[in-house]
Chain A
Amino acid sequence: MNLAIEVSNLSFRYAGAGQWALKNISLSIEEGEFAVFTGATGCGKSTLFKCLIGLIPQMYPGEYLGRVVVKGLDPAQTPVSRMAQRVGMVFQNPDNQLFALTVENDVAFALENLGLERAEIERRISKAFRMMGIEDLRKRSPFELSGGQKQRVAIASILALEPEILILDEPTSSLDGATAKKLLEELGEIRRREDITVLISEHRLDLVVREATRLIVIEGGQILADGEPREVVHQLLKDGYERVEPPKLSRLAWMLGFRGANSIPVTKEEFVEKLQGVGK
């Protein structure tokens, strides 16, 4: 497997801030992974994501140490608009990411900025609409959409750039559980079908653990745990770590005494299977 992202000893302190937002982070992410970043609010997830696309240090002044390589490019030195053609980033609040007055024009916005021909724009936005299942919203105004629909449009507008890496910074924070779960499942499906690497920050591990191939816990700007989701969930439960909520069924299984490092259930199906195994 090729590396999509390589972060070596990255530290960053915002100008004027006393504390480092990121402290000596080293991390490698392979192509095709679905990496979930979790941790308490303000732990440094968003800062790390901004470093991966170059918004930090290009838009935010501060002390930047270490090295980041994303798809062979150094985000600190490459214009964000060039990085954005390979690394798509979706932010938390869709209202601040939708600029046009129709959904269609919004999804086309980045492609127009790149000066692409109309036929190519049409091809890409049609594909993005299909991927996010929002063909019916094409002519609508972003004003009249629900939170979930707006977030889908925001993701589609980034997918239209056909990025190799998709970064989503808490995309489900304003969505209800069911809508968020569906969206995350679809993102997992897009990753498998389009073979892109997905990095996502999410608090509700219950919703995302099924899709995750990797779980990274950040605390105070440092990586606290990093590994295969089951392994990390086990570690969180073993250490009694309370700043991240492990999947509820994993916690229940732990309380019921299923504490094996390789066998702790993280999904509903695994949990049911575990319980059925008891009776046999």
Chain B
Amino acid sequence: MSFLVTALLFGEYWGGMLTVSSTIILTQLLLLRLAKSARYMLSTMRGAIPLVALVFLLSLLGVLESASASGELLYKASASSIRFLAFLTSFNIFFLTTSPDEFGQLLLKLRIPYVYSFTFVAAVRLAPVIADEAQEIIDAQRSRGVEFEKGNPLKRLRALVGLFVPLLINSLRRAYEMAEALEVKCFGASERRTAYREIRATRRDILAAVMILAALTLVLTARSMKLFTGLP
């Protein structure tokens, strides 16, 4: 989370963006290497490569007018993409290491109403169900001769309508069925909801929280002192 906040904080001005974002990614890779999970993590990131390329292209177009030199232009586009990559890796590590159930409980402990933390858990719970459903629709459309990967971009986009419309309709129906199931499972019946498996902060959690807070303080200080000005 602190990586994420750091990446966010250094988004307002260009100075230091590349340094900070690259440092975040390298630190994460180092930590992952120590946890012997670097390869797995990188494999889960493969799908994000086109997105990063898209951000690079869009940034290039976006800063075209304001940038004075081609070096600066390239710097800004690279900095945006690396920053985006830092976001992705941060989110990825967060979701791969944190159980949504436990995160939901944490939100509850922070006195955030259960309906919000439940929404988060339900969204995570439903992601694979909707993915399966999307695959079923793709298979059904393919069996009817729809080609999702052929033709020009416009044709491909039109083919996707055949996926998204049924998916949306099914999701709405599913939402209604889930609402019924929630009703019969007494959702919101008691103001004092209890937890069967309660999470408790251990000494290690507190130590980690202190370290993260310290790191964030350092980052905030660096930012307020404008230590990173100028490029890169």
Is there a chain B Cβ closer than 8 Å to A80's Cβ? yes
Report the separation of the CA atoms of residues A109 and B188 in the bound assembly, to the nearest whole angstrom.
11
Is there a chain A Cβ closer than 8 Å to B185's Cβ? yes
Q: What sequence of 0s and 1s flags, for each residue 80-116 of chain A, a beta carbon within 8 Å of any chain B beta carbon?
A: 1110110011010101111111101100111111111
What are 29 A-B contacts defined by CB distance under 8 Å?
A: A79-B189, A84-B185, A84-B186, A85-B186, A96-B174, A96-B177, A96-B178, A96-B181, A97-B185, A98-B125, A99-B125, A99-B182, A100-B101, A101-B124, A101-B125, A105-B101, A105-B197, A109-B185, A111-B194, A112-B193, A112-B195, A113-B188, A113-B193, A114-B186, A118-B194, A118-B196, A121-B194, A125-B196, A142-B125
Q: Is the CB of B194 within 8 A of A116?
A: yes
With known contacts A91-B180, A91-B181, A99–B121 Cβ distance under 8 A: yes
Q: What sequence of 0s and 1s flags, for each residue 110-134 of chain A, a beta carbon within 8 Å of any chain B beta carbon?
A: 1111111110011001000000000
With known contacts A55-B184, A59-B179, A96-B181, A113–B190 Cβ distance under 8 A: yes
Residues of A238-264 whose CB lies within 8 A of B: none
Q: What sequence of 0s and 1s flags, for each residue 67-80 of chain B, a beta carbon within 8 Å of any chain A beta carbon?
A: 00000000000000
Q: Which residue of chain A has the shortest Cβ distance to B175 in the bound complex?
A: A96
Q: Is the CB of A113 within 8 A of B121?
A: no
Q: What sequence of 0s and 1s flags, for each residue 102-131 of chain B, a beta carbon within 8 Å of any chain A beta carbon?
A: 000000000000000010011011001100
Report the separation of the CA atoms of residues A105 and B124 in the bound assembly, to the nearest whole angstrom.
15
Q: Which residue of chain B has the shortest Cβ distance to A82 in the bound complex?
A: B189
| List of B residues within 8 angstroms of A117 by Cβ | 194
Q: Which residue of chain B has the shortest Cβ distance to A54 in the bound complex?
A: B183
Is there a chain A Cβ closer than 8 Å to B192's Cβ? yes
Q: What sequence of 0s and 1s flags, for each residue 28-59 of chain A, a beta carbon within 8 Å of any chain B beta carbon?
A: 00000000000000000000001001010001
With known contacts A91-B177, A96-B177, A121-B196, A101–B186 Cβ distance under 8 A: no
Q: Is the CB of A101 within 8 A of B101?
A: yes
Q: Which residue of chain A has the shortest Cβ distance to B195 in the bound complex?
A: A112
Q: Is the CB of A158 within 8 A of B184?
A: yes
- Name the prevailing secondary structure of the A interface residues: helix
Report the separation of the CA atoms of residues A96 and B181 in the bound assembly, to the nearest whole angstrom.
7
Q: Is the CB of A112 within 8 A of B179?
A: no
Q: Is the CB of A161 within 8 A of B186?
A: yes
Q: Which residue of chain A has the shortest Cβ distance to B133 in the bound complex?
A: A95
Which positions in A face B, CB cutoff 8 Å?
50, 53, 55, 59, 79-82, 84-85, 88-89, 91, 93, 95-102, 104-105, 108-118, 121-122, 125, 142-143, 157-158, 161
Q: Is the CB of B190 within 8 A of A114?
A: yes
- Name the prevailing secondary structure of the B interface residues: helix
Is there a chain A Cβ closer than 8 Å to B187's Cβ? yes
Which positions in B face A, CB cutoff 8 Å?
99-101, 118, 121-122, 124-125, 128-129, 174, 177-198
Q: Is the CB of A101 within 8 A of B180?
A: no
A-B pairs with lowest CB-CB distance, top 5: A115-B190, A81-B189, A108-B196, A110-B185, A81-B186
Report the separation of the CA atoms of residues A122 and B194 in the bound assembly, to the nearest whole angstrom.
12
Among A79, A80, A82, A91, the most chain B Cβ lie within 10 Å of the Cβ of A80
Q: Is the CB of A115 within 8 A of B101?
A: no
Q: Which residue of chain A has the shortest Cβ distance to B127 in the bound complex?
A: A143
Q: Is the CB of A113 within 8 A of B187?
A: yes
Extra contacts, 19 of them, besides A101-B99, A115-B192 (Cβ < 8 A), are: A59-B183, A80-B184, A81-B183, A81-B186, A88-B184, A95-B129, A96-B174, A99-B121, A99-B178, A105-B101, A108-B196, A113-B189, A115-B190, A115-B194, A117-B194, A118-B195, A118-B198, A121-B196, A142-B125
Taking the closest CB of chain B, its distance from the CB of A54, in whole angstroms, is 8
Taking the closest CB of chain B, its distance from the CB of A40, in whole angstroms, is 21
Q: Is the CB of B100 within 8 A of A104?
A: no
Taking the closest CB of chain A, its distance from the CB of B203, in whole angstroms, is 23
| List of B residues within 8 angstroms of A85 by Cβ | 186
